[in-house]
Each structure stands twice: as C-alpha cells, then as structure tokens.
Structure 1
Amino acid sequence: MLRLLGPGVRLCDGWSRREILRIGGLGVLGSGLSLADLSGAEVPSVAPVLGDSTFGRAKSCILLFLMGGPPQHSTWDPKPDAPAEVRGEFGPISTKVPGLSICELMPRTATVADKICVLRAVSTRDNAHSSSGYYMLTGRPHQPMNFENANPGPPNDAPSLGAMLGRLRSTRGDLPPSITLPNRIVNTDGSVWPGQDAGFLGRSQDPWLLNARLSSAGYRIQEIDLPADIDLVRMERRKDLFDRLQHGFDALEHDPVARRMDERSVRAFDLLHSPRARQAFRLDHEPESSRNQYGMTPFGQGVLLARRLVERGVRLVQVNWYRGPDEPPANPCWDSHTNEASRLRDVLLPPTDRAFGALVTDLESRGLLDETLVVCMAEFGRSPRLDGNGGRGHWGSVFSVALRAEACAGARCSDRQTGSEPTLAKGKSVPKIWPRPSSTAWATRRRRSFAIRWGGHSRSVEGK
C-alpha cells in the first residue's frame, strides 16, 4: 500500500469477514450492488425484499471495519429470549423500524435505523482473523481457510475492494480513488493481513494508506504538507528537474518497476501541488460542533475524515478500528476473548454508536446519503455462548453486517439467526451464502480471467 505514516494495528495471533462485500464494489451480501455499480455499470435486478433497484446512484462508499470481530448478540442481533450465557449482559432497544431491535448501547444508531438495513445471516465459515478478513476484504475465500497469521502473496493475492475500484475508475480531482485509514491491519506478531492491497493487479493500484492518530492534538499529515522551507515555486522547480530526469530513462519505458515509480511520483506531486486536495485532510477546519458530533476518538475522527474525503471526490474510504497503546494485548480492538461486557460498555460501543449515527445524519443533511454506500462490518462475529472468562471465541458461521443503501433503507434483509449456519429466510430470495461468480471479469496482468462480480449483469475490464 502507499504508506504515509506510522505503524499498523495488531490483533491476536491465536486460533483465537459473511458474505457482504463479495468482490467488486461491495457485492453487498448478494443484494446486487458491486464495485461495477459504483463505476457506472448497469444496475442488476435486486431481490424483492430490497425494493426497487437504485444502487446505481451510489457514487462513493464508506466502509467501517471493526476488526477483531464484534459480538452480533450485543450489537445488531440481540437475543433477549436466549439463556444468559447466550444473550449476554445487555438488552435490546426498539428502533424506528417496527420489529427491529438492536443493543441498548446503540441509542444513536436506533434513531437512524429507518435509513439502514441489517443483515443478520452473514457467513464466511472461517474463524481466523487473517483468512476470514481476506474473504471479507476481497470476496475470495483464503486458501486454506481457518489459517491465522496469513501473509499476502499467491495464491491469496486477490485485490482489495479499494484496489478494484481504483482499477475500474479514475480519480475525481487530485485525490486518489481509494484511501484506507488510520492504519493497516496486522496481527500481534506483525503479520499483515492479505487482501488489503492490489495483489496481482500491481502496486500502482494500491489504495492510499493514511497512518495517523486522528484524535491527537495538533493532528497533521506532514507528508501532504509542504515543509516550511519549501514553497510552491521551489516545488515546481523540483518537479521540473524530476521531469528532465525522467526523460533520461526512456529506455526503461516498458520496465514495470520504472513505470510504477513514475505513476506514484506523478500522483505524489499532484497531491502536494493541490491545496484543495490537502485541505480535504484538515480536520481542524471542521467546526468544533461537527467534530464533537462524531466524537473526539480515533474512530470518530476517522469516520468524520471519511465523510470529508468522499465529499471531495474519493470513491471509497475504509476506516479501520484504531488500536490504541493501552488496549489489552489478549483482546485488542473488538477481539473480546475476555471481559466482553466491560469492553463493550466502556471502550467499543459508545464511540462506534456515536460515529455511525453522526455519519448517517451528516450525510443526509448534506444531500449525500443516497449517493453514499455505508457499510459497517468485520471479519467475523463471536461464538454463541460466553466462556468462563466472560468473552466469546471467533465465529465465522453467522454474524451481522449493517449497511446504508437507498434501495434497502429500513429493510430487514435477513431474519433472526440462532447462531448456527445461515439459511434463506422463508419466502425471501436474498442469498445468505456468496453466489458463484458470473462472467463479469477482467484480464489480469498475466491475462488470467478474474471475476469481479458474483451474480448480476456482465462487465469486462481490460487489464493493463
């Protein structure tokens, strides 16, 4: 990835994402939306439960990734009638959608529930962070499944959602088509999850990686600000010198490494030379009331920055949950192997609920809600029963995903699940297991066929 700052986020590397964004533009849980739709492809038919097909209006996507695996029981799918060891400590609250309840620790989200839909039957059947995360980030099952500490590389080198979008669509203005923040996902041992870069598409399609603690005082991204001793005139001179040097390397025109360096250099100069692009990252230009609305937490400010970026033309922003230095090493982020109740009540759900509710409300007030797909997901969920340490294990068999898309606002796209394998809701046609790929494909650099759409209409993209 194009790395700008700092270290990555780590998760546990012991034994201890459903079917939502299956390859290409968020093939959201079989609902018919894909990256091809975001790039202007013909909109496929959508199951009747989702209503009219209007996904084609989506111009941008904000993907909120709660790495570690939230418990579906204490977020989107409470089970008040289950035994205590299943339902957990927290009860349900009603929402603006009749019959839809969510966890009592999500009151702000409950007020915007009529603008989202919850899919409660997502499944990867993979209980390892790395490999299930690869599945959710690329739409491809890892080989082998249930494999922890998996590192990028063949055969698990499918491109990420952001990379596919960058390949399908050019930038809008000086900002890149896809940005990931505030860090890359790694396990406790430092191994980087596969599925976060462009894979076999080549590094020139990597999403931009922005590493920064966005809630820190005086937050700035020095790499996109000119140093104090370099003004625009001096930068122009440097670019002129760079261009002259480039002409001396004409013999390397067909060398992939040299070509990749040239593409990155041009993008870097464009970003440095564009005050408008740099302003997109300036959270200090937001009113204090706006920043407080999202919450002065790393996740809240990351979600606010995502709104600023899509508002200025970035097509996909992935906001990963930030792991702070004080988090317990045994259950960082949402990986709640112990003390689940206190982690949810004191650390995890309040900032998530605040930021998610603020994002939906803010997008609506700015007229961006119907043009922005919002997805909140993780690599998997948690096991049905609490264990002796008050936590839950990894559970890829069934978990929940929430999304905002105009076609399914206020809909319940899947029925309540018991915690076992997902099934089709009676009388519904929304698939709960990833469908097989259609003929929508592109040719990779090695001219092998690669499906970017799993079901729906066909579209071909010529590979470079």
Structure 2
Amino acid sequence: MSIDPNASHSRREFLQTAGGGLGGLALTAMLAGEGRSQSHHASKARRVIQIFCPGGMSQVDTFDYKPELEKRNGKPFDTDGTLQFFASKPGNCRGSHWKFRQHGESGRWMSDLFPRLATCVDDMAFIYSMHSKTALHGPACFMMNTGFTLPGFPSMGSWVTYGLGSEADDLPAFVVLPDPRGLPPGGIINWGAGFLPAEHQATTLDTSNPSQPIADLFPPKGIAEVTPTTDRAGLEFLQKLNRLHQQSRSGNSELDARIKAYEMAAQLQLSAPEATDLSRETAATQQLYHTDHPEIGPFGRQCLLARRLAQRGVRFVQIYCGAENTTAKKIRPNWDSHEDLSRDHGYWGAVLDAGASALLTDLKQQGMLDDTLVICTTEFGRQPAAQGDGGKGRDHNAGAFTAWLAGGGIKGGVGYGTTDELGYTAVENPTYSYDLHATALHLLGIDHTRLTFYHNGIERRLTDVHGHLIQEILA
C-alpha cells in the first residue's frame, strides 16, 4: 500500500481552506465505529489511557529506590575515568533529591516527589528494568510509542484501533491530548498511523480551548457568510467532489479517511463539545483534579478529559505531561533535567502527582479502573551521577528507567525487574517497549504476534520480531 504525500498535500490545503469546519480532521480516525474486530482471547481491559512524560524521568528520584546510591553520595561514580554519558562525563554519585518511603500494604517504595500517587501504590505495578535503544529524545519517544527508533511506523494507539476499532459511534477511536506548552520531541509522528490505513491515526484535542476542542471543527467566528446551514452545504459539496475523486483512486486510504471524517462532521459538532465540557463535572471532581490551579490544573484537565473520553467509548487516549525540549528558561518544558533536577522534576513531579493520582482515584470511583488499562512511561531514564554546574542535574540514561501500569488486569503492588545497586543499568529481566506493548495488547485481548499488517513485503507488528508477555504483573 503506497500513498503519494505530494498529491494529497494540495487537496489537504484545499479542503482546509474551503471546508470552514473540518480541515484539521480530514486525515484522522473519525469513523470510530467501523472496523471492529474479534479479539484473539478474552480481554481484561476495554480501553487504554497512557500518560507519556517526555524528557527522561529520573528513575532514582521517583520509583527505583537505591540505598547504595545514597551511601555513595558525593563519591566518584567512574573511578577510572573511562565512561562517557550522553552529553557529559560522569560526575560524582548523587543520591535521590527526595526521600524514599514505603507505602501501602505492598510496601512499595516511592519518593516524596509523589505524595498523592503514593496512596495508589497498591493498584500499581512497576517495571523497574525498562531500557531503550537510544538516548536521543525523538528516537526514544518513537521507540516507546511505535517500537522503532525511526519515524514512519504506526503508534500503539493506531495498532490498537486497527485491531479493535472503537466502542463509540460519534467520537474518534484514538485521541491524543498534547501538553498545552506544545508538542513532544518528534511531534505528531509519535501518534501517526504510519503504513496503517490513515483513519487509525490520532485526533488531537486542545484542552485549553473549550470552544474549539478540535482544530477547525466549527466555522470561524465573525464571518457572516458562514452559518450552520452554509457550512453543512459546503460539507455536502465537498463530499460530492471527494466521491468523484475517489472513483479512480479506490486504494487511497487518506482519501477514504477524509471522506469518513466529513461524513461524521455533524455528529462530531454535537458530541465533541459535550465530551470536552469539563464544567459538566461536579465541583468535587474538578477539585480532585485541581482544574483551577494555574500550574497543575492544565494536566489535571487533560486527565479528567481522558476519563470522560474513555467513559464515552474512546478506545485509546494518550496524555502528554511535558512538551518539546526547546530551551531551559526558568523551568524546562519537560522532564529533561540536565541543569537542575530539583527545580525541573520538582515542578513536573507535582503536575504528574496531582493528575495521575486523581485519574486513578476517579476511575476507581466510577467503576472503570477494572477494565481501563492505565500506563505511565517516559522515553528513558537519568544517570545516577551528577551533571552540570554544582552537580544539580542528571544526564540521559537509556540503560534504565521505570514504567508503571494500573487497572485493566494488572496485579497491583508488585514490581518486575531490577537495576543494579546504583540504578545505572537494567540487570534482572531487562525490558524493552516490545514487552510492555505485548503485555498491553494481551490485556486488550490481542495476541501481539497475530496483530499484523503486510507492508513492503513484510508482515509488520507493533512488537517487530520481539516481545514477550510479562506474566508477573498480570492479575
């Protein structure tokens, strides 16, 4: 299956200019109810909410307790001077910037960076031995999202909707909520459909713009000539043009996706505003998510919106906690803490702590946690040694990081894999994204070896030729 991007580009520009209402949706997965497939086995989870923390969250300051690192604080990490980190030579060992404590009946360790999330520890399973093939932000984000370090491969959300479709008839099957500060490293490729049919790529929602949650969903205000009646007439005219155009291009999945998007325009103009209207929630629920807080409120709104979308049948929702690492001003726009980890992780830790704990608590109260798989990950970890002036930061570390899961068939209060005594590298059960993806697909009722798409002579998979089920974290 091949698509000519140049040929579709001019049509896309035309539709975005002339449509007055759905240009930004033309290539998204809007016909959510179509393509429902039979699962390979009984599922534990019906849907996924994934939290992605770009920039590289430090495992030794959050979830992976290393008392030996604390003992060696201030002592040389690389005694013979042969190591080279991603962007620096190793500094001295640096223990956690926050105290670790045991929590819950399970006694799982978590740092004081997450006081609220610590109350949910018995619902969470931790994979301490995650590692990546790269310490570059963009390629590492691609790997965690698509299983490949190169761009152009389908994201996990695309694979899930390709395999299962959606439970909603009037909302997209796959929705992404980018951080209000901007896109993550690698941009929209992180949630692209790659070589899968274009209808399986994500639709992005803007949580900061309630009146226009989806770009170009409604006609621009202030133009007298554009009314609901004329807008509907314009959509119908464009559909006629698209149908004529389609007759000689039956294999163009981008055109098919565009036509389906316009067919759902009227439904979306009704369903999207209702689904994204957080004011419909009770005051207690809004307070739980701290939606009015100037700093942690934006992520809280993303998490609350994710719950509302999942509640309405959206199959896969991805939330970004952090944006592209453009510059280090007062606080970095993500978890990439080279200069001052206490400053940057201190800020983002409070953001994640409030939103993620509220999400788990709310899902449980709504009776949704048992069949909603929640995943939280980053693209790689950080070094146990100090970096920067005064040794206040940490460099990239592809050798070790932590991911956690909850709900949807997950055994709470357990851990899987270990890193070495300093948290430098995964040593027991090293785990790649392939294994995390294989386990998530299994919980959704999908055998990762059987979810395939033939492309360029290869039966492609989300897990490539790798991946194994992590039985130890399954309920």
Return closer, same or farther for 1:292/1:272 CA change in 2, 3 Å cut-off.
Answer: farther
SS in 1 for 2:48: strand
SS in 2 for 1:57: coil
User: Mapping of 1:12-411 within 5 angstroms?
Assistant: 40-42=39-41, 56-81=43-68, 82=70, 83-84=72-73, 85-140=93-148, 142=149, 152=151, 157-171=152-166, 172-182=168-178, 185-187=183-185, 192=187, 194-210=189-205, 212=206, 214=207, 220-221=213-214, 223-225=216-218, 233-249=229-245, 251-254=247-250, 256=252, 260-274=254-268, 275-296=270-291, 297-323=297-323, 328-329=328-329, 331-345=332-346, 347-389=347-389, 390-405=392-407, 406-411=409-414
Return closer, same or farther for 1:90/1:250 CA change in 2, 3 Å cut-off.
Answer: closer
Separation of aligned partners in 1, 2:322 and 2:418: 31
Separation of aligned partners in 2, 1:186 and 1:370: 30
Superposed CA deviations along residues 283-308 of structure 1, whole A, max 9, x for unmatched, are 23223332231123222211111111
The answer on whether the counterparts of 1:337 and 1:392 sit within 8 Å (CA) in structure 2 is yes
Q: CA deviation at 1:139?
A: 1.8
Separation of aligned partners in 2, 1:385 and 1:135: 25
Instruction: Provide the identity percentage.
Output: 25
Separation of aligned partners in 2, 1:358 and 1:106: 12
Return closer, same or farther for 1:322/1:283 CA change in 2, 3 Å cut-off.
Answer: farther
The answer on whether the counterparts of 2:146 and 2:153 sit within 8 Å (CA) in structure 1 is yes
The answer on whether the counterparts of 2:106 and 2:413 sit within 8 Å (CA) in structure 1 is no
Separation of aligned partners in 1, 2:172 and 2:290: 26
Q: TM-score, normalised by structure 1?
A: 0.74
Return closer, same or farther for 1:313/1:439 CA change in 2, 3 Å cut-off.
Answer: closer
The answer on whether the counterparts of 1:123 and 1:433 sit within 8 Å (CA) in structure 2 is yes
Give the letter for the 2:303 counterpart: V
Q: CA deviation at 1:367?
A: 0.8
The answer on whether the counterparts of 2:53 and 2:378 sit within 8 Å (CA) in structure 1 is yes
Unaligned runs of 5+ in 2: 1-11, 13-21, 26-36, 74-92, 292-296, 439-447, 470-475
Q: TM-score, normalised by structure 2?
A: 0.72
The answer on whether the counterparts of 1:298 and 1:322 sit within 8 Å (CA) in structure 2 is no
The answer on whether the counterparts of 1:86 and 1:385 sit within 8 Å (CA) in structure 2 is yes
Which portions of structure 1, spanning 4 or more consecutive aligned residues, are displaced by more than 6 angstroms?
A: 216-219, 324-327, 434-438
Q: Which piece of structure 1 moves more, 282-291 or 112-121?
A: 282-291
The answer on whether the counterparts of 1:3 and 1:209 sit within 8 Å (CA) in structure 2 is no
Give the letter for the 1:424 counterpart: E
Superposed CA deviations along residues 64-117 of structure 1, whole A, max 9, x for unmatched, are 000001111111113244233432321012211433110112111111111111
The answer on whether the counterparts of 1:232 and 1:273 sit within 8 Å (CA) in structure 2 is no
Return closer, same or farther for 1:130/1:379 CA change in 2, 3 Å cut-off.
Answer: same
Separation of aligned partners in 1, 2:370 and 2:106: 22
Separation of aligned partners in 2, 1:227 and 1:127: 42
The answer on whether the counterparts of 2:326 and 2:333 sit within 8 Å (CA) in structure 1 is no
Question: Which has the larger Rg?
Answer: 2
The answer on whether the counterparts of 2:132 and 2:140 sit within 8 Å (CA) in structure 1 is yes
Separation of aligned partners in 1, 2:375 and 2:398: 18
Q: CA deviation at 1:262?
A: 4.2
Give the letter for the 1:337 counterpart: H
Return closer, same or farther for 1:167/1:3 CA change in 2, 3 Å cut-off.
Answer: farther
Return closer, same or farther for 1:39/1:362 CA change in 2, 3 Å cut-off.
Answer: farther
Give the letter for the 1:110 counterpart: A
Separation of aligned partners in 2, 1:332 and 1:392: 16
Give the letter for the 2:134 counterpart: D
Superposed CA deviations along residues 316-339 of structure 1, whole A, max 9, x for unmatched, are 111112449997259431000011
- Aligned CA RMSD, in angstroms, stands at 3.3
User: Mapping of 1:418-437 within 5 angstroms?
Assistant: 418=421, 419-424=423-428, 432-433=431-432
How many aligned positions are there? 387
Separation of aligned partners in 2, 1:177 and 1:220: 16
Return closer, same or farther for 1:217/1:446 CA change in 2, 3 Å cut-off.
Answer: closer
SS in 2 for 1:87: coil
Q: CA deviation at 1:207?
A: 1.1
The answer on whether the counterparts of 1:70 and 1:380 sit within 8 Å (CA) in structure 2 is yes
Q: CA deviation at 1:432?
A: 3.0
Q: Which residue of 1 aligns with 2:15?
A: none
Separation of aligned partners in 2, 1:115 and 1:386: 32
Return closer, same or farther for 1:173/1:78 CA change in 2, 3 Å cut-off.
Answer: same
